[in-house]
Structure 1
Amino acid sequence: MNITIYTKLKSIGVLLGTAMLFSCDNNTQKARDFLADKNLPVGTTKNAFHVYKDSGRITSKLITPKMLDYSNRTAHPYSEFPDGIKIINFENKGLDSVTITGDFALSYAKTSISEIKGNVVVINHADKARLETEQLFWDEKTKYFVSEKAFKLTKENDTIFGIGFESKDDLSKHLTKKTTGKLVTSEN
């Protein structure tokens, strides 16, 4: 008689467990909405090394110790790099490269605009140009940098200090504001 009661209880337990499993909804959109409501990322990546290619040619590399994916935001999806970022862009079939580093970054997916903050350094290795600032906005579509913070631009024998800077993302054709510094010019 004890075996029959044990078997019945075991069967009821299995039925309840099965019913609970089938009642679960596998709706990823609900999970994404829940994470968005709680201001949580939909994904976290550690020690990321991402290579971007175009037509089989490497165009850039992104290196970061931590990336938080907030692509679940409907209005402004973004990625956050709270522990710093290093981006290397390759031009002219890899002969020229520009390195961008910073302590913190946000990259907005819809607008392709990134904000890099804290010890921002941009180096054009071919031209030996170096920009240092505390905040930089980068429009990846137009390949353009903008900063309204204090900066230091070193290029060959010139060092320019100022507040406010704009240039192409290879540091060419720059516009500087409120500048001071030493400029070496030659007259022809």
Structure 2
Amino acid sequence: MAVHTAYRQILMLGMFFIILISCKDNFKEVQKIGISENEPIGVAENINLKYTDSGKVKAILKSPKMFDYSNRKFAYNEFTEGVNLELFEDGKKSVVVSDYAIIYNKTNIIDLQGNVKITTHSNDTLFAEQLYYDQEKEWLFTNKPVTFRTGSDLINGNGFDSNYKFTNAEVLEITGLITVNE
């Protein structure tokens, strides 16, 4: 019986030794995993995306580069070199341009930054440093300086609110109004 116990102890000690030898220092590999999670899951270049509905083109998105960070807890897509978006409704075209854009997937908020310009089919034009678009509410807003040209009026202010059709556009904190007679 004592021999059997001795063999058991030797076997256990041998298994412990094998396990100990097989363990490695994986700290550097763990660090690499952390780095890769911070990198985009994909990169798209020279984007020319056409969105259609019922056989009609509804939107055309063009951008030199997009980074896809959908591997993050708070997923987003980043357009570091700007966007040019053409929107079509009832045969009429509106255009959105910015130097930078980021789309937050969970909140459906689009953040446009740098030389933001929206020109509607009726030739109303909004110029802003930064503009947000809530895709669910179809609402545009900012608290940054804007210039809004509508009809013969050129309105400057600090903030803007509107639906996406600009039918109830409002410049907030108006700092200047110029009416141009044509």
Which residue identity does 1:138 align to in structure 2? Y
Give the conservation status (yes or no) of the 8 Å contact 2:37–2:71.
no
Residue 62 (structure 1) aligned with residue 68 (structure 2): no
**Hey, what does 1:4 align to over in structure 2?**
none
**Hey, what does 2:8 align to over in structure 1?**
none
Q: CA deviation at 1:36?
A: 7.2
**Hey, what does 2:135 align to over in structure 1?**
140
Residue 181 (structure 1) aligned with residue 174 (structure 2): no
Q: 1:153 to 1:41 in 2, by over 3 A?
A: same
Give the conservation status (yes or no) of the 8 Å contact 1:35–1:42.
no
Residue 116 (structure 1) aligned with residue 116 (structure 2): no
Give the conservation status (yes or no) of the 8 Å contact 2:148–2:171.
no
2-side partners of 1:150 and 1:70: how far apart?
30
2-side partners of 1:82 and 1:149: how far apart?
20
Q: 1:35 to 1:172 in 2, by over 3 A?
A: farther
Which residue identity does 1:182 align to in structure 2? I
Runs (4+) off by over 6 Å: none
Structure 2 counterparts to residues 39-188 of structure 1, below 5 A: 39-74=38-73, 76-92=74-90, 95-124=91-120, 126-179=121-174, 180-183=176-179
**Hey, what does 1:18 align to over in structure 2?**
none
Give the conservation status (yes or no) of the 8 Å contact 2:60–2:85.
yes
State the SS of the aligned residue for 2:167. Answer: coil
Which residue identity does 2:170 align to in structure 1? L
1-side partners of 2:156 and 2:35: how far apart?
42
1-side partners of 2:39 and 2:134: how far apart?
26
- TM-score with structure 2 length normalisation? 0.76
Unpaired segments ≥5 residues, structure 1: 1-32
Q: Which has the larger radius of gyration?
A: 2
**Structure 1 residues 59-107: Cα deviation after superposition (integer angstroms, max 9, x where no partner):** 1111000000011113x21100000111111111xx2221111001000
State how many pairs are aligned.
Answer: 148
Q: CA deviation at 1:182?
A: 2.6
Q: CA deviation at 1:55?
A: 2.3
Q: CA deviation at 1:164?
A: 0.6
CA-based RMSD: 1.9
Unpaired segments ≥5 residues, structure 2: 1-31
Q: CA deviation at 1:170?
A: 2.6
